[in-house]
Amino acid sequence: MDLDLTDDQRALQALCRDFAKKDILPHRDEWNTTGRFPVEVFRKMADLGLMGLLVPEEYGGTGVGAVAYVAAMEEIAKADQSVASTWNAHLTIGSLPLLYFGTEEQKRRWLVPLARGERLGAFGLTEPEAGSDARAIRTTARRDGDGWVIDGTKMFTTNAGTEISQGVILLAVSGTRADGGKEYSAFMVPRGTPGFDVGRLIPKIGWHAVDTRELIFRECRVPGDHLIGQAGVGLRQFMQALAIGRISVAALSLGLAQACLEVSIEYARQRRQFDRPISTFQAIQFKLADMATAVENARLIVFKAAWLHDRGRPFAKEAAMAKLYASDTAMHAALEAVQIHGGYGYTDEFVVSRFFRDAKILQIGEGTNEIQRLVIARLLGC
């Protein structure tokens, strides 16, 4: 058993820590206050080779593996959740369906620009009336000569409306099976395709600098070569892409939990009440000790899931556990961080108030924590 990162993994982690310190921390307040999408950050990350971490070199990426990626994500996520969640969506669900299921031609055409960071990837599954119940999607793709015509609406899509967005990989109902069940297929819809309207930015509790939108498709025609993978098995494909996405969101959560812990320790050591630092009170010490223990536990399960992935072993159960546990840990750590900061923690002057706002979505996105429990139970044989 070896819990150490390799030299390369540590070097990537150090690079991300350094990048976060110099290029994220000084600007994060501005992005989150104005809600501006910081395109320049992703251009710089592209120059450093950070936009294709899970894509092999032959398709423009760096293929460092999930363990290295998780180590890198923790550093970026510690600095800013908006940047980190944009990065997360791009690297996993926004790019990997093309890698897993795309044809050689599709990989050259769409995956390479994503992995090089010239374009940002997006993934559209959720709809106004289909969240956890993915089978209930209503967006349809109808065969029309050589191509397909897409109609419907996607909700809460990340990364589809920025100036460097490539478009969206979406799931649609593409037909009916012999037994009457629905068939699902995945499609690439490039930005600018007639009939594809990028809706307005959706205001949110947190993740203020993330491009989150509703996407509307009306008689949107795409050629036959925009079908990704096989017709009819799109749902299964999407579920596969979500499994690694869960490890990624777990790492995103881990970074936030760690950040909550670090700022809380720092604050508790400085803040004086009753003539001594509040870190000397057992009430605060127990909070910090519990937070630190949970964060360390979260780290272990997140890295374990990533390690299983890199070994080519089954990892879906651990990925679900990691996502469930790390996001609950992040939410709880954010709650306690605000409590330790007292009234100041409720103000915009202290970063914990932002951590608090950013934490909640982690229990919801990429499969709610209730769905994670269902996934785990199913893999336990229930």
Partner 1 sequence: MKILVLAKQVPDTATQVKISSNPRAIETAGVTWIVSPYDEFALEEALRIKEKRQGTEVVAVSLGPDRVKETIRSCLAMGADRAIHLNDPAWADADTLTTARALAAVIKQEAPDLVLTGRQAIDDDMGAVTAQVAEILGWPCASWIMEEAIADDGKTVRAGRQVEGGLEIFDLPLPAVLSAQKGLNEPRYPTLKGIMGAKKKEIRDVKAGDLGLAAEPPQLSLLTLEALPPRPPGRVIPGEVKEAVRELVKALREEAKVV
**Active-site amino acid positions:** 366
Nearer to partner 1, 19 or 110 (CB): 19
Residue with tokens 């109902």: 173
Nearer to partner 1, 134 or 288 (CB): 288
Residue 262 CB, nearest distance to partner 1 (Å)? 11
The C-alpha atoms of residue 327 and residue 101 are separated, in whole angstroms, by 29
58 is a contact residue toward partner 1 (CB under 8 A): no
**Residue choice 12, 120, 130, 222 for contact with partner 1 (CB under 8 A):** 12
User: Which among 2-10, 94-102, 222-230, 360-368 is the span making contact with partner 1, rule CB under 8 A?
Assistant: 2-10
64 is a contact residue toward partner 1 (CB under 8 A): yes
15 is a contact residue toward partner 1 (CB under 8 A): yes
**Residue choice 31, 41, 42, 49 for contact with partner 1 (CB under 8 A):** 49
- Contacts to partner 1 from residues 18-47, by CB under 8 A: 18-19, 47
14 is a contact residue toward partner 1 (CB under 8 A): yes
Q: Which of 93, 242, 220 is nearest to 169 (CA)?
A: 93
**Residue choice 1, 2, 4, 7 for contact with partner 1 (CB under 8 A):** 7
265 is a contact residue toward partner 1 (CB under 8 A): no
Residue 17 CB, nearest distance to partner 1 (Å)? 9
User: Which among 12-20, 172-180, 292-300, 331-339 is the span making contact with partner 1, rule CB under 8 A?
Assistant: 12-20
**Residue choice 32, 59, 62, 288 for contact with partner 1 (CB under 8 A):** 62
Please give the angle made by the CA atoms of 298, 242 and 3, to the nearest 5 degrees. Answer: 35
> Interface with partner 1 by CB under 8 A: which residues?
7-8, 10-12, 14-15, 18-19, 47-50, 53, 62, 64
